[in-house]
Structure 1
Amino acid sequence: MQRPTGTIDGDSAAAPGEDRAGDNPAGGCPVAGHGAASPATADASAPGVYVPPFPLRPTSPPPIWKLIGLARRNFLSVWPTTAFANPWLRVAVLRKQIFVCNSPDLVQEAFVRKHDTFERKSAQMRHALEPLLGDGLFISDGETWRRRRQIVGPIIHASKVRDFFPVMAETIAERRAAWAAAGPGAPVDMLQEMAHLTAEIICRTIFGRQLGGDYAAEVVESFTDYQRHIDQIDLISLLGLPDWLPRRRGRAIRRAVARIDKVLDEIITSYEARRSDGETSVIGGLLEARDEDGKPLSREAIRNEAAVIFMAGHETTANTLAWAWFLLSQAPWARQALARELDTVLDGRMPEFADVARLPYTRAVIEETLRLYPPVPILAREALADETVGGVRTPKGSLVMVVPWLLHRNPNLWPRADNFEPERFLGATRGGQSKFGYVPFAIGPRICAGLAFGLTESILSLAILAQGFDAELEPGTDVQPACRLTLRPGETLPMRLRPRASRT
């Protein structure tokens, strides 16, 4: 099995694809820098070598019975070392054929040029999220998806981000003030902190400042509870049984869905009663939207799309920010480079919208975090007809997958693929990859409609909070990526807040 040591080496660091032995009891440790310097004497401001944690990698494909067990616990654990450099993978799981595109050319062929055949989400994803999202944009397909995309896309388009920017900045500044009030060395669960921050942001932008603030905690707790209990494997589809067969829903799942539906209905009703205040909000856009026939969305459709936007805008961004804080805590050179940029560009003031484009290193930290820990690490589509990809027959009903977890760590695409290196996203090369080799927001017609919103929110959150604070990982904490519906740093991320020294 292969697993990162979490320790640091200089030039002797193992190359991508080489085995590393050992364990990672502290989830990683500070960087020694290049060469033979020890951690005690290294220049922490120089780019260093840090290999953050990843799950054990089998040296050969596991048998099917073991693969299913691994997938139930953590889908990232099923991939052997050979899978990362392989451009094309094929496996049969029970009665389901699964094909994995792991090169830019194949990603483009399947998800762009042959989108019509592979537009439908996998049965596992559809049935896992249908109780929560109904026919929402994230899991719908065909005519429903096309109509909803035309309606929802413009509401959260990149051109709208400037309108939402003041709410984002205000909410993040409130979180920084709360950190300051907690005092130096205050303990925090950074995963929960970022979850509540992004929930507050998305609630206020979806529902308006006041309504969002009132309901954020209730919605985030319900979403977390839902994800904790949903099954990661759809055995009915793997066995080749009809898609219409009902899936088992436990009491905890039904309870979480009922809480979310109740809150969303209350918010929509409250908003309708006060929507004349002129504030920009997503719910306002959904209420005012008309389809191509001039018809408004139904109450159920509005609720479903609000749930989609909340899920996509809260959970994924929260995980990205939590991972970014963890990675920075283990990489002193990156933490210092970030601090220098923030001090130089912002000089202690709050960022304005134009400043986001002037923070390339801050953006690079977020982009490298998304490369190493893509929030949705598996993009699975069901073939609606017989097709070929890369000259290989993909029969109707089979799964064609793009797995960002593999693609983003493919050593043929990414030098030192397991290393944390924000610097790879600086300058003209911007990662040096085809856009089909870096897909944290998916790719093709089904690319995330809120891409610009989420990226701006992540950059702004890190910039405002890191102006005032560093975060240290609690000693002895074992941080390992865990994939349920999204990729999280476990259930908690215990850290301590350290106010930054005066600006240099």
Structure 2
Amino acid sequence: MLRRLRRNMLEIWTDRQFSEPLIATAVLGRRILICNSPETVQDAFIRQAEAFERKTPQMRHALEPLVGDGLIISDGLVWKDRRRVVAPVTHASRIGALAGVMTAAAAERGEAWAARDPAEPIDMLAEMGALAAEVICRSVFGLRLGDADAGQVVAAFAAYQRKVGAGDLLGLIGAPAWVQRLRGLRLRPEVRRIHAVLDGMIAAVLDMPDEREAKGDASLLRAMAAATLRESGQPMSRAAFRNEAATLFLAGHETSASTLAWCWFLLSQDGGSAARLRAEAAAALGGRPAEFGDLPALPFTRAVVEETLRLYPPIPVLAREAQREVTLAGHQLPKGGIVMVVPWLLHRHRALWEAPDAFLPDRFLPGAPPRPRHGYVPFSLGPRVCTGAHFAMAEAVIVLATLAQRFAPRLAPGVTVQPVARLTLRPGETLPMLLDRA
């Protein structure tokens, strides 16, 4: 089981675990409770959220070399202070202002695809990674990331994931911090590549003359700097900015890229849904790129994204470390024990979903039966719910609707897709597809 865990975390789940409400187990002496029903999920992540504020040692050790004390793994006062500053970056109220970069990036990707030989396969995972990198960089930094730098960051993130893996046994058994630091040495090449790009962008933005910002060259990073001064009266250090920038890259780039790649894969396997999405986009847009104001007219496109997030949640495991002894569904969990919500299990639970393994976007259309509350958690839930959920949904709908009008990607012949869970849930290392014209 431990060998399978290291290779691919999805391999360890048994058939019966897709119907159990709570799974109690232990790995190498560490007690683990897996909440697998809306009631147990709500109990752990909402009612007793204060006991499960801290991410697991595995997650902290996996991400610390890259994001330092960034929002994604911090807790306590650091988390509260950073969230007050970072949350406005992708708040729902800002999506209208941010959507322009999504529209532009999608349109540019369409032009690049149109110039390609349709008989030549593309790596859809890499394509969506580059597109998502453009979106997050333009949104956060207010400047365009060069193709060379974008390629470096995308490749470095992929290499980082391969080295970290989901089945970090050292973190699982609670190895001492110095052991984890030694282990982190092998991640240094990728960390250096990512940090070098981020440091350059941060310097370009924060050293920008104020008059350039007044002429429309503003950025959310500068807005974060201003918010920090308002909150504490002290500027945030460059290292702290880099940690939060790396966090935003990981959260806003990696998860969006994998979700969009899975969308294209699922549409390639379901011609009916692909045709419906294309027809909806054509009727709403008439061939032009999608914009923020078009989102209400694209309900089926949104349903495709939501159903993709159900089947292939970008973060397949949400795990926390108990800060005190707790009781969940009659089970005792000691301090230091692990509680998990596993969207990969919960989103395919047989008691919660009809035809749980089928791709049925209609279940998310307006007027469909309500989905189980706390049974659908692609962006986590409770106090640590993802602040970028609205940003991610808008980006995915705009990209799909824009590109589906012109292209009908299909899986390259002979390619087999196997989901692999590391830090995120990816369709393997690459996703070769052919760009048929719509």
Which of 254-263 and 273-282 deviates more? Answer: 273-282
Q: 2:97 aligns with which of 139, 148, 163?
A: 163
Deviation at 1:335, TM superposition (A): 0.7
Deviation at 1:245, TM superposition (A): 4.8
Residue 379, structure 1, aligned to residue 318, structure 2: yes
Residue 144, structure 1, aligned to residue 144, structure 2: no
Residue 262, structure 1, aligned to residue 196, structure 2: yes
Residues 137, 145 of structure 1: 8 Å contact kept: yes
Separation of aligned partners in 2, 1:171 and 1:240: 43
Greater Rg by CA: 1
Within-5 A mapping of 1:385-404: 385-404=324-343
Letter in 1 for 2:433: M
Residue aligning to 1:448 = 386
Deviation at 1:134, TM superposition (A): 0.3
Within-5 A mapping of 1:125-204: 125-204=59-138
Deviation at 1:171, TM superposition (A): 1.1
- Relative contact order (C-alpha < 8 Å, sep 6+): which is higher? 2
Deviations 1:9-55 (A, max 9, x none): xxxxxxxxxxxxxxxxxxxxxxxxxxxxxxxxxxxxxxxxxxxxxxx
Deviation at 1:343, TM superposition (A): 1.5
Deviations 1:214-255 (A, max 9, x none): 732222222122112114334344335445653433654111
Separation of aligned partners in 2, 1:237 and 1:462: 38
Separation of aligned partners in 2, 1:244 and 1:114: 31
Identity across matched positions, percent: 51
Separation of aligned partners in 2, 1:215 and 1:154: 26
Alpha carbons of structure 1 residues 239 and 184: separation in structure 2 relative to 1, 3 Å: closer
Residue aligning to 1:354 = 293
Within-5 A mapping of 1:95-114: 95-114=29-48
Residues 205, 219 of structure 2: 8 Å contact kept: no
Which of 406-415 and 179-188 deviates more? Answer: 179-188
SS at match of 1:117: helix
Alpha carbons of structure 1 residues 157 and 213: separation in structure 2 relative to 1, 3 Å: farther
Letter in 2 for 1:325: W
Separation of aligned partners in 1, 2:32 and 2:174: 13
Give the paired residue count. 433
SS at match of 1:292: helix
Which of 124-133 and 260-269 deviates more? Answer: 260-269
Separation of aligned partners in 1, 2:365 and 2:54: 35
Residues 203, 216 of structure 1: 8 Å contact kept: no
Residue aligning to 2:403 = 465
Within-5 A mapping of 1:85-100: 85-100=19-34
Letter in 1 for 2:139: T
Residue 239, structure 1, aligned to residue 177, structure 2: no
Residue aligning to 1:5 = none
Deviation at 1:425, TM superposition (A): 0.6
Residues 26, 32 of structure 2: 8 Å contact kept: yes
Unaligned runs of 5+ in 1: 1-66
Letter in 2 for 1:264: L
Alpha carbons of structure 1 residues 74 and 211: separation in structure 2 relative to 1, 3 Å: closer
Residue aligning to 2:15 = 81
Residues 126, 139 of structure 1: 8 Å contact kept: yes
Residue aligning to 1:482 = 420
Which of 285-294 and 362-371 deviates more? Answer: 285-294
Separation of aligned partners in 2, 1:388 and 1:214: 51
- Over aligned residues, Cα RMSD in angstroms? 1.7
SS at match of 2:144: helix
Q: 1:342 aligns with which of 268, 277, 281?
A: 281
Residues 165, 423 of structure 2: 8 Å contact kept: no
Unaligned runs of 5+ in 2: none
Letter in 1 for 2:386: C
Deviations 1:310-334 (A, max 9, x none): 1100110100110111110110110
Residue 208, structure 1, aligned to residue 147, structure 2: no
Q: 1:248 aligns with which of 182, 185, 204?
A: 182
Separation of aligned partners in 1, 2:374 and 2:218: 34
Deviations 1:427-480 (A, max 9, x none): 223x62233110001011101011111111111110111111001111111101
Residue aligning to 1:308 = 247
SS at match of 2:332: strand
Alpha carbons of structure 1 residues 134 and 141: separation in structure 2 relative to 1, 3 Å: same
More helix by share: 2
Deviation at 1:292, TM superposition (A): 3.1
Separation of aligned partners in 2, 1:475 and 1:84: 32
Separation of aligned partners in 2, 1:243 and 1:214: 35
Residues 106, 289 of structure 2: 8 Å contact kept: no
Deviation at 1:154, TM superposition (A): 1.3
Residues 9, 167 of structure 2: 8 Å contact kept: no
Residues 315, 423 of structure 2: 8 Å contact kept: yes
Residues 31, 337 of structure 2: 8 Å contact kept: yes
Letter in 1 for 2:155: E
Separation of aligned partners in 1, 2:318 and 2:337: 14
Separation of aligned partners in 2, 1:248 and 1:413: 43
Which of 125-134 and 284-293 deviates more? Answer: 284-293
Alpha carbons of structure 1 residues 214 and 492: separation in structure 2 relative to 1, 3 Å: closer
Letter in 2 for 1:404: P
Alpha carbons of structure 1 residues 250 and 237: separation in structure 2 relative to 1, 3 Å: closer
Separation of aligned partners in 1, 2:171 and 2:122: 41
Letter in 2 for 1:144: V
